[in-house]
Structure 1
Amino acid sequence: MNEHPKKPFLHVVVCAAGIAGDAHKLITAAQERGWGVGVVATPQGLGFLDVEAIEGRTGYPIRSAWRSPGKPRPLPPADALAVAPATFITVNKWAAGIADTLALGILCEAYGMGIPTAVLPYVNAAMAAHPAYGWSLERLRSMGVLVGSYEPHRPKAGGGADRFRWEEALELLGPVLSGAAGT
Structure 2
Amino acid sequence: MTTLPVLYLIATAAGPTHHIDDGIQAAQADGWDVHLVLTPTAARWWKPRMAELEKVTGHPVVWEYRVPGQDVRGASSLPKADAIVMAPITTTSACKWAAGITDTVALGIPAEAVHMGVPVAVMPFWNEVLYAQPAVRQAVSLLEEQGVRVVFGPGEPHPPKSGRDKFFPWRLAFDAVRAA
TM superposition score normalised by structure 1:
0.87
Q: What SS does the aligned partner of 1:44 have?
A: helix
1:140 is the counterpart of 2:143:
yes
Q: What SS does the aligned partner of 2:170 have?
A: coil
* Residue pair 2:35, 2:57 contacting (<8 A) in 1 also: yes
Count of aligned positions: 172
**Unmatched 5+ stretches in structure 1:** 177-183
Q: What SS does the aligned partner of 1:97 have?
A: coil
CA distance in 1, matches of 2:173, 2:143: 15
Q: Flag the 1:45–1:162 CA change in 2: closer, same or farther, 3 A.
A: closer
**Unmatched 5+ stretches in structure 2:** none
Greater mean deviation of Cα atoms: 13-22 or 82-91: 13-22
> Paired residue for 1:48?
45
> Paired residue for 1:84?
87
Question: What is the 5 A alignment of 1:59-138?
Answer: 59-69=58-68, 73-138=76-141
CA distance in 2, matches of 1:34, 1:75: 18
CA distance in 2, matches of 1:85, 1:59: 21
CA distance in 2, matches of 1:47, 1:154: 26
4+ aligned runs moved over 6 Å, structure 1: none
> Paired residue for 1:7?
4
* Residue pair 1:60, 1:74 contacting (<8 A) in 2 also: no
CA distance in 2, matches of 1:139, 1:46: 27
CA distance in 2, matches of 1:164, 1:128: 18
Q: Which amino acid aligns with 1:140?
A: L
Deviation at 1:105, TM superposition (A): 0.9
Considering only aligned residues, what root-mean-square deviation do their CA atoms show, in Å?
A: 1.6
> Paired residue for 1:36?
33
Q: Flag the 1:30–1:38 CA change in 2: closer, same or farther, 3 A.
A: same
CA distance in 2, matches of 1:76, 1:116: 15
The structure that is helix-richer by fraction is 2
Greater mean deviation of Cα atoms: 108-117 or 162-171: 162-171
